[in-house]
Amino acid sequence: MSLLRRREAGIALALLLVIGVTTVVQPGFLFSAGGWRDLLLTPAILVVLAVGQAVVVITRNVDLSVGSVLGLTAYLTGRLFIDAPDLPLVVVALAAVAAGTLLGLVNGAIVAFARVPALVITLGTLYVYRGVTLTWAGSDRIDAGDMPRAFLRLGTQQVLGVPVLTIVAAVVLAAVAHYLHTSRGGRQLYAIGSDPAAAALAGLPVRRRLLGAFALGGALAGLAGVMFAARYGTVSSGAGTGMELQVVGAVVVGGVAIFGGSGTVAGAALGAMLLLTINRALPVVGIPDFWQRAVVGALIIGAIALDRVLATRRSRRLAAARDADPPGGTTAVGPAAPGPDHDRTRTEEATA
Amino acid sequence: MPNAAPMLRLEGVAKSFGPVAALRSGTLVVRPGSIHALVGENGAGKSTLVKIVGGVHRRDAGVVELDGTPVDFGGPAEAKAAGVAVIHQEPASFPDLTVTENIYLGREPLRRFRRIDRRAMRDGARELFRSLGVDLDPDRPAEGLSIADQQIVEIAKAISLDARVLVMDEPTAALSAVEVRRLFTVARGLRDAGRAVVFISHRLDEVADLCDTVTVMRDGAHVSTDAVADVTPDELVRRMVGRDVAELYPKVPSTPGEVALRVEGLESTGTFHDVSFEVRAGEIVGLAGLVGAGRSEIARAVFGVDRYDAGRVVVGGRVLTPGDPAAAIAAGLALVPEDRRLQGLVVESSVARNVSSVALRRRRAVLLPGAEAELARDWAGRLAVKAGALDADATTMSGGNQQKVVLAKWLATHPKVLIVDEPTRGIDVGTKAEVHRLLSGLAAQGLAVLMISSELSEVLGMADRVLVVREGRIVAELDRAAATPEAVMRAATPGASAVAEGGAA
C-alpha cells in the first residue's frame, strides 16, 4: 500500500517539477489568470475519462471506444440543444451521460458474456460508435451559436478561482476513489483484475461487476462529452478522435497496472494532468514538436518500465521474506528456533 | 465421535461429461469430528466427486445430503453458504489484495453507509490465524505467499465462513515436510472442533498418519470404506489399482561408468551457492530437499534456461555456454521440467508433434509429417503411452500419459544426461511405477539421471546417491545405504534437528 502511495507521490512530484521549471522559464505559465485557469481546466476532461478508464483497466480490461463515446455524446448534447431547446441543462447532461452508460453497457455485455477480449471488442465499437456519429452528423457541425449561453459559460466559468469543469472532475474522482477503496464492489473489481479465474471460483459476481465497470467508464465518457461541448463550443463528427490513446497513456503513467488488479484512480488522474501539462509546457520552454511527442512516449514507456522494476523488486522482497521466515517457524512445529546456520543465510541475503 | 450422524453423505452419485462417465457411483459418508481419506488412482473420479460436493458440477444422479438434508448446489457460492469448503491443491488467491482481503472478499464487515470496516476485518483475520496456530501477517499482499500459506489462507476463509465440511484436494502434493506437518496440525484442530474433513492424497503414509477413515475409489465407483487402522497400505494400493503392484520402486542395480555431468561451483546470487556435484553414466542421483530450497533453480541453470553468476557445467567433457539451452541439448542434456503443462508439453498439439518437437528441430528445416509420426510411434510404443491416436491432442490425456509424452520427447534426442524434476507429481500409483521402471531401465542402459523429487520415498527408492539441498546449498551427499528418511530430512530442514526426531506433533 505504501508503495502505491509512493507511486502517486512520485507523479505529483513530477507534475510539480514540470510546472516549476516551466514557470521559471515563463512566469506567466502559472502566475497569470489565464495560466492558472489553463493549468486546472485543460486536464479536466481527460481526468474524467482517465478515472473511468482506470476502473476498467483495474478489472484487466480496456475500453478503447471512449473517444468515440465522447464524440457521440458531445454531438448528442449539441443536437438536443438544437432540437429540444426547452430542455433544462441538467436533463441534457443526464441524457448524454445515460447514452454513454448505454454504450458502455454494450461493451461490457459483449466482454462479460461473449468472453471476447475487451481490446478487440472495444476496438470494434470504437469504429462502430464513430460510424454512428459520422452518419448522424454528416458534415454537419454544432457551433457555439447553437448552444445556450449558460451552458457554454460552464465551460470557462470559475468558482473561487477554480474552473467549474475542474470541480466536476474532482467530484467524480473523489466519488469513484471512495467507491473503489471502501465498498465491497470496489474491492471485487481489484480481485477480478488480479485473477479473473479465481474470482469466478470464489463466487464473485464477475459479470455484473464487469458490466458495472464498463457502464461507469461509458457514463464518464458521456459526462466528458458534455464537458467537451461546453468547453470547446463546437462539436464536429470527429470530436474526441484518438483520445482513447491519450487516456490509456494517462492511466498507465498514473500507475494503474495494465494487467489489472492494482493502481488507483487518483494516480490515473495525476497521470492525465501530467501528460497534458507536459504537452503545454514543452512549447513554452522551446522544445520542438518532434521531441514533444517523443517525451510523452518516453513517459509512457518509462512508467511501464518503472512498474516492472517495482513489481520485480516487490516479489523478490516478498520471496526473501518467505525465505527468512519459513513456515517451520510456527507453533505447529514447536521449538524450531532458527539455528546459527539459518541466521547466516539471512544476513547474506541482506547484504547481497 | 465416530458414531455421530453423518455430516456429509453421498450415495450413488453419478456424473457424465458427454459420453464419458467421470463418476458412476460415488459414495462417501463423512462424520463430524473425523478426518476422512479419499484415495484412488487419477481418473478414479475423486476430483469429480469433490467438484459436485463443492458446487462446481451438478450431479446427474444420486443423493447428496448435508446434515441429513438433501442439497443440490447451483454453484461454488451456494456450497460455501451451506458450509462446504474445498481447499484446492493450489488455491486461487488474489495476489494484488492483502491476505485479509483475500479471506473476507465479498463479505467484508461493514460500517455505516456500507463502508468496509477494515479494522474489524484485520482483527478477524488475526484471530483466525491465532486459532489455527499459524503466524501470518494479515496485511501483507497475497503475492509471494508459498502454496502452503495460500492453503492456510483458504482454510482461514473456510473457517470464517463457518464451514462444517472441509475438503482438501491433494493439499500436500506441493508441500515440504515441515509444511505438511503444520497442515496436519491445523487439520487435527479442525477435527477436534467437530468439523468434518475430507482429505485426498496420493501419499498413503500421510493417510495412515492423519486420517481415521479411508474410502477407496476406482473407475468412478466406491470400492471400500474402512477405519484406517484396519487396512494396510498394501491392501489400499491393491484396491486402488485393482491388481497387485509388483514393486513400487523397481530399482535395477547398475554400475556407474564415466562422469557424464559435472557441475563445478555453480553460483547464482540469492538463489543457490557453490553447487558442485557429478552424475555418472548409469547412475540415478536424487536431488532431495524442501520445496523452495533451490533444486529446480539449480536444474534450470544447469540446463541453461537460467543464467548463473559463477561456476561451470561440463557434459561429456564439454563446457556448456551459460544460458544456452540449445547448446545443452546438443551436448546431450535433457530436462523434463516440474510443471509439464506449463513447461514441458504443448498441450494443444498432437502427441506426435510433441514427441518429435525437439528431436526433429535439430535435424531438418522442414518437418515432414511422416517423420513425425514414425518417431512418435516408436517412442510411444516403448513408453506404453496410452493415447487414442498419435494425432490426438495431448490435452485429452491423463497426467501420467502426458508425463510419458514429455519423457518421450526428450528421449528421442538420445540424451546422455536426463534431468527429471518431480517426474511423478500428480500421477496415479500405477503410472508412477511405470515411470520409475522406465527411469531405472534407462539408467541401466547407461543414461545418467538427475532426479528431483519432493517425495522422499521416491528419492530413496530410486537413487543410487542422494544430494540434499537446503537453502540453495548442497548440504549432504548420502549413498544408497546411508540415505535413510531421517538422515535426509535432518539435512534438509533448516536449523531444526528436533524436527526430524520428535516433530510428529
Concatenating the DSSP letter of every residue in B221-261 gives: EEEEEEEGGGS-HHHHHHHHHSS--S-SS-PPP----SEEE
- Verify whether the Cβ–Cβ distance B96 to A190 is below 8 Å: yes
Residues B359 and B431 in one domain: no
Chain B residues with CB-CB distance to A349 below 8 A: 270
Whether A316 has its CB under 8 Å from any CB of chain B: the answer is yes
Residues spanned by the domain of B405: 342-414
Whether A204 has its CB under 8 Å from any CB of chain B: the answer is yes
Nearest residue in chain B measured CA to CA from A3: B141
A72's CB contacts (< 8 A; 6+ apart) are A99, A103, A129, A130, A132, A133, A225
**Which residue of A2, A7, A204, A333 to mutate against B (max B Cβ within 10 Å)?**
A333
Q: Work out the minimum CA distance from A206 to partner chain B, whole angstroms.
A: 11
Axis-axis angle for helices A164-182, A265-284 (nearest 10): 150
The answer for B 213-232 residues in CB contact with A (under 8 A) is none
As a whole number of angstroms, the distance between CA B398 and CA B479 comes to: 34
What domains, with CATH codes, occur in chain A? 2-319 (1.10.3470)
Whether A221 has its CB under 8 Å from any CB of chain B: the answer is no
As a whole number of angstroms, the distance between CA A282 and CA A40 comes to: 17
- Verify whether the Cβ–Cβ distance A336 to B105 is below 8 Å: no
Does B283 map to a domain?
yes
Which DSSP symbol is given to B114?
G
Task: Give yes or no for residue B364 having a pLDDT over 60.
Answer: no
b/e code B39-70 from CB counts within 10 Å (16+ = b): bbbbbbbbbbbbbbbbbbbebeebebebbeee
Confidence grade of residue A327 (pLDDT, cut at 50, 70, 90) = very low
* pLDDT recorded at residue B177: 78
- Kindly state the average pLDDT of the residues B453-460: 79
- Kindly state the average pLDDT of the residues B73-88: 86
What is the radius of gyration, based on Cα positions, of chain B? 24
* pLDDT recorded at residue A351: 36
pTM of the model: 0.71
Q: Where is the domain boundary, B414, B440, B470?
A: B414
Whether B494 has its CB under 8 Å from any CB of chain A: the answer is yes
Instruction: Give the tens place of pLDDT for each residue, B249-302.
Output: 666 667 788 899 999 999 887 788 899 999 999 999 999 887 667 888 899 899
* pLDDT recorded at residue B384: 64
Candidate from B95, B140, B182 with C-beta closest to A194: B95
Low-confidence winner among A191-200, B34-43, B135-144, B232-241 (lowest mean pLDDT) = B232-241
Task: Give yes or no for residue A231 having a pLDDT over 80.
Answer: yes
Q: Which amino acid type is present at position B429?
A: V
As a whole number of angstroms, the distance between CA A267 and CA B417 comes to: 52
Residues B87 and B175 in one domain: yes
Does B433 map to a domain?
yes
- Verify whether the Cβ–Cβ distance A202 to B92 is below 8 Å: yes
Confidence grade of residue A241 (pLDDT, cut at 50, 70, 90) = very high
Task: Give yes or no for residue B203 having a pLDDT over 70.
Answer: yes
* pLDDT recorded at residue B149: 87
Q: Work out the minimum CA distance from A269 to partner chain B, whole angstroms.
A: 21
Q: The domain that contains B191 carries what CATH number? A: 3.40.50.300
Q: What percent of chain B has pLDDT over 90?
A: 24
* pLDDT recorded at residue A249: 93
Residues B86 and B178 in one domain: yes
Q: Which three cell numbers stand for residue A249?
A: 497513456
Nearest residue in chain B measured CA to CA from A349: B270
Confidence grade of residue B399 (pLDDT, cut at 50, 70, 90) = low
Task: Give yes or no for residue A259 having a pLDDT over 90.
Answer: no
Q: Which three cell numbers stand for residue A239?
A: 470530436
Low-confidence winner among A38-47, A281-290, B45-54, B452-461 (lowest mean pLDDT) = B452-461
Q: What percent of chain A has pLDDT over 70?
A: 88
Residues B221 and B286 in one domain: no
Residues B427 and B321 in one domain: yes
Coil, strand, or helix at residue B2?
Answer: coil
Q: Which amino acid type is present at position A352?
A: A
Axis-axis angle for helices A164-182, A33-41 (nearest 10): 40
* pLDDT recorded at residue B387: 52
Residues B407 and B420 in one domain: no
Does B138 map to a domain?
no
* pLDDT recorded at residue A340: 37
The answer for A 268-297 residues in CB contact with B (under 8 A) is none
Q: Work out the minimum CA distance from A314 to partner chain B, whole angstroms.
A: 9
Whether A245 has its CB under 8 Å from any CB of chain B: the answer is no
As a whole number of angstroms, the distance between CA A272 and CA A343 comes to: 47
Q: Work out the minimum CA distance from A184 to partner chain B, whole angstroms.
A: 6
Residues B430 and B442 in one domain: yes
Task: Give yes or no for residue A43 having a pLDDT over 90.
Answer: yes
As a whole number of angstroms, the distance between CA B416 and CA B237 comes to: 34
Candidate from A197, A322, A341 with C-beta closest to B495: A341
Q: How many CB pairs under 8 A join A and B?
A: 146
* pLDDT recorded at residue B38: 93
Residues B378 and B466 in one domain: no
Is B48:B20 a contact under the CB 8 Å cutoff?
no
b/e code B215-234 from CB counts within 10 Å (16+ = b): bbbbebbbbebeebeebeee
Q: Which three cell numbers stand for residue A342?
A: 539459518
* pLDDT recorded at residue A220: 98
* pLDDT recorded at residue B501: 34
Residues B311 and B351 in one domain: no
**For chain B, what is the mean pLDDT?**
81
As a whole number of angstroms, the distance between CA B314 and CA B417 comes to: 11
Task: Assign 3-class secondary structure to chain A.
Answer: CHHHHHHHHHHHHHHHHHHHHHHHHCHHHCCCHHHHHHHHHCCHHHHHHHHHHHHHHHCCCCCCCHHHHHHHHHHHHHHHHHHCCCCCHHHHHHHHHHHHHHHHHHHHHHHHHHCCCHHHHHHHHHHHHHHHHHHHHCCCCECHHHCCHHHHHHHHCEECCEEHHHHHHHHHHHHHHHHHHHCHHHHHHHHHHHCHHHHHHCCCCHHHHHHHHHHHHHHHHHHHHHHHHHHHCCECCCCCCCHHHHHHHHHHHCCCCCCCCCCCHHHHHHHHHHHHHHHHHHHHCCCCHHHHHHHHHHHHHHHHHHHHHHHHHHHHHHHHHHHHCCHHHCCCCCCCCCCHHHHHHHHHHHHC
**For chain A, what is the mean pLDDT?**
86
Which DSSP symbol is given to B340?
I
Does B129 map to a domain?
no
Low-confidence winner among A84-98, A126-140, B105-119 (lowest mean pLDDT) = B105-119
* φ/ψ (deg, to 5) at B279: -130, 125
Q: Work out the minimum CA distance from A120 to partner chain B, whole angstroms.
A: 23
As a whole number of angstroms, the distance between CA B140 and CA B151 comes to: 15
Does B300 map to a domain?
yes
A263 phi-psi bin (left φ>0, alpha ψ -120 to 50, beta other): left
Does B85 map to a domain?
yes
Q: Looking at the 3D structure of chain B, how many domains does it have?
A: 3
Candidate from B106, B135, B270 with C-beta closest to A204: B106
Whether B471 has its CB under 8 Å from any CB of chain A: the answer is yes
Does B101 map to a domain?
no
Whether B77 has its CB under 8 Å from any CB of chain A: the answer is yes
Q: Work out the minimum CA distance from B498 to partner chain A, whole angstroms.
A: 7
- Listed as own residue / partner, the contacts of B231-238 with beta carbons closer than 8 Å and 24 or more positions apart are B233/B204, B233/B205, B233/B207, B233/B208, B236/B39, B236/B204, B236/B207, B237/B204, B237/B429
* pLDDT recorded at residue A317: 74
Confidence grade of residue A330 (pLDDT, cut at 50, 70, 90) = very low
Residues B363 and B480 in one domain: no
Whether A114 has its CB under 8 Å from any CB of chain B: the answer is no
Task: Give yes or no for residue A118 having a pLDDT over 90.
Answer: yes
Q: Where is the domain boundary, B389, B414, B439?
A: B414
Q: Work out the minimum CA distance from B316 to partner chain A, whole angstroms.
A: 34
* pLDDT recorded at residue A126: 96
Strand order in the sheet with B165-169: B69-70, B61-66, B8-17, B20-30, B221-227, B213-218, B34-39, B196-200, B165-169, B84-87
Residues B423 and B408 in one domain: no
Confidence grade of residue A350 (pLDDT, cut at 50, 70, 90) = very low
As a whole number of angstroms, the distance between CA B265 and CA B439 comes to: 27
Q: Where is the domain boundary, B414, B436, B453?
A: B414
Confidence grade of residue B458 (pLDDT, cut at 50, 70, 90) = confident
Does B120 map to a domain?
no
Residues B312 and B409 in one domain: no
Strand B272-280 relative to strand B61-66: parallel, antiparallel, unpaired?
Answer: unpaired
> In terms of pLDDT, which residue wins out, A76 or B78?
A76
Task: Give yes or no for residue B14 having a pLDDT over 80.
Answer: yes
Candidate from B97, B181, B472 with C-beta closest to A194: B97
Coil, strand, or helix at residue B189?
Answer: helix
